[in-house]
Chain A
């Protein structure tokens, strides 16, 4: 079945460091891909998304590119801030199916000042 695998955390970085959180997926066809972010004490919220191969989603300085050949959707940011400390979830929505979104297990990110 469809699934999402993302790197385990926690990931700890210093402010202004470069961030990569790896995500790979298993699905038929061309699912939509998402990154959600959960700040402390809050629900998940959509950070960015991509709906077809080679699309790049971006928001708040974060980027992720839909790579069909490697079935990946890695999250990157060039210079992280303390306020980026949160849990990040990679997710997919199966192609041509109005159905549930499949979430990865989440990666906790700590940014040190």
Chain B
């Protein structure tokens, strides 16, 4: 099992540019989560999906952020336009529903730097 795959691992961009982060969950997992981690705010849940449907996007900071999950094996988190305060590590995680199967598996993260 390859685990949760995220790309790119590092992204450096300039303020105002569009940024797209990608995630491939573990096969068979029906929940997918996007998190943001910074020193100041810690680990924040941005949005999560169940069976490709967004369930809770209350953590998305503002309209500049959007997330999609067009199929069970792919999700994107887009920031447009990006700002320096968006600099953080973004993690994707997935899990399978069912009693006793509540462990979440995290990807390695994408480190985003907005100049």
Interface residues, chain A, CB within 8 Å of chain B?
A: 32, 34, 42-46, 49, 51, 89, 93, 98, 100-101, 103, 105-106
Judging by beta carbons under 8 Å apart, are A100 and B108 in contact? no
Nearest CB of B to A39, in Å: 11
Query: A100 and B48 in contact (CB under 8 A), knowing A51-B100, A106-B42, A106-B43?
Result: yes
Q: Hey, which chain A residues are within 8 Å of B98, CB to CB?
A: 98
Is B25 part of the contact surface with A, judged by Cβ < 8 Å? Answer: no
CB distance from B35 to the nearest CB of A (A): 9
Sample (27) of A-B pairs whose CB atoms are under 8 Å apart: A32-B102, A34-B103, A42-B109, A43-B4, A43-B91, A43-B93, A43-B108, A43-B109, A44-B43, A44-B93, A44-B104, A46-B103, A46-B104, A49-B103, A51-B100, A93-B102, A98-B31, A98-B50, A98-B98, A100-B45, A100-B56, A101-B102, A101-B104, A103-B43, A105-B42, A105-B43, A106-B42
B102 touches A44 (CB 8 A): no
A106 to B102 Cα, complex, angstroms: 19
Given A43-B106, A43-B107, A45-B106, 6 other A-B contacts at CB below 8 A? Answer: A43-B108, A46-B105, A93-B102, A98-B98, A101-B102, A106-B43
Number of residues on chain B facing chain A (CB within 8 A)? 23
Interface residues of chain B, those whose CB is within 8 Å of chain A, are 4, 31, 33, 42-43, 45, 48, 50, 56, 91, 93, 95, 97-98, 100, 102-109
- The complex places the Cα of A45 from the Cα of B108 at a distance, in Å, of 10
CA distance A93 to B102 in the complex (A): 7
Considering only CB atoms, which chain A residue lies closest to B109 in the complex? Answer: A43
Docked pose: A46 CA to B101 CA in angstroms: 13
Chain A residue numbers with a CB within 8 Å of B106 are 43-45
Task: Specify the chain A residue showing the minimal Cβ separation from B106.
Answer: A43
Could you say which residues of chain A place their CB within 8 Å of the CB of B45? 100, 103
